[in-house]
């Protein structure tokens, strides 16, 4: 049945309305499901809180590992005694790196990549320098945070 001026029949209109509603309904139901099944655990943290006394007294020109989420983090004391924190993961293929104190370089064994003590990629395949973090010390806490992240500690 079609009205005089109409370009579509009543049935077409109703079918479109119903299908449109149905598609919207399905998409709306699918949205939370897709959001849920896409993993959101094990994301990299914005900051981690460590015990300061475990890390402040490490010898010069050495590193000590800490968990940065599921990845390796390194607290690194340069030979001049300044303290740094960095992500201990090679920028090439995410392998864990080691510090070679005799050469004062970071080395990645996967594809023989080298970084100097400032984290600059100097040899081998790594495309980017290592990621360094900000360090702040509050009372007993050593707070390691991504550069530019505002740290808000939960009120205990």
Could you list the residues that contact another protein (CB under 8 A)? 32-33, 35-38, 40-41
In the complex, least distance from residue 6 CB atom to another protein, rounded to whole angstroms = 22
55-94: b (≥16 Cβ within 10 Å) or e: beeeeebebbebebeeebbbbbbeeeeeebbbbbbbbbee
Q: Can you give the three-state secondary structure of 59-122, one letter per residue?
A: CCCEEEEEEECCEEEEEEECCCCCEEEEECECCCCCCECEEECCCCEEEECCCCEEEECCCCEE
Residue closer to another protein, measured from CB, 42 or 148: 42
Q: Is 125 buried (19+), middle (13-18) or exposed (0-12) by CB count in 10 A?
A: middle
Q: Which is nearer to another protein, 13 or 22 (CB)?
A: 22
Q: Which is nearer to another protein, 67 or 101 (CB)?
A: 67
Pairing of strands 71-77, 113-116: unpaired
Least distance (Å) between residue 146 CB and another protein: 19
Closer residue to another protein, CB minimum distance, 7 or 37: 37
Q: Which is nearer to another protein, 36 or 155 (CB)?
A: 36
Beta carbon of residue 41, minimum distance to another protein (angstroms, whole number): 6
Q: Could you tell me the smallest distance in angstroms from the CB atom of residue 27 to another protein? A: 15
At closest approach, how far in Å is the CB of 47 from another protein?
17
């Amino acid at each position: 049945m079609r009205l005089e001026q109409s370009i579509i029949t009543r049935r077409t209109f109703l079918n479109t309305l119903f299908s449109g509603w149905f598609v919207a309904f399905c998409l709306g139901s699918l949205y939370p499901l897709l959001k849920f099944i896409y993993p959101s655990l094990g994301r990299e943290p914005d900051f981690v809180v460590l015990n300061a006394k475990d890390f402040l007294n490490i010898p010069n020109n050495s590193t000590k590992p800490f968990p940065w989420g599921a990845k390796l983090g390194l607290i690194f004391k340069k030979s001049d005694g300044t303290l740094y924190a960095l992500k201990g993961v090679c920028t090439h293929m995410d392998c864990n790196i080691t510090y070679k104190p005799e050469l004062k370089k970071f080395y990645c064994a996967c594809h023989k990549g080298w970084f100097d003590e400032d984290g600059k990629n100097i040899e081998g395949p790594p495309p980017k320098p290592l990621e360094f973090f900000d360090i702040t010390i509050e009372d007993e806490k050593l707070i390691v945070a991504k550069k530019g992240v505002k740290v808000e500690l939960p009120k205990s």
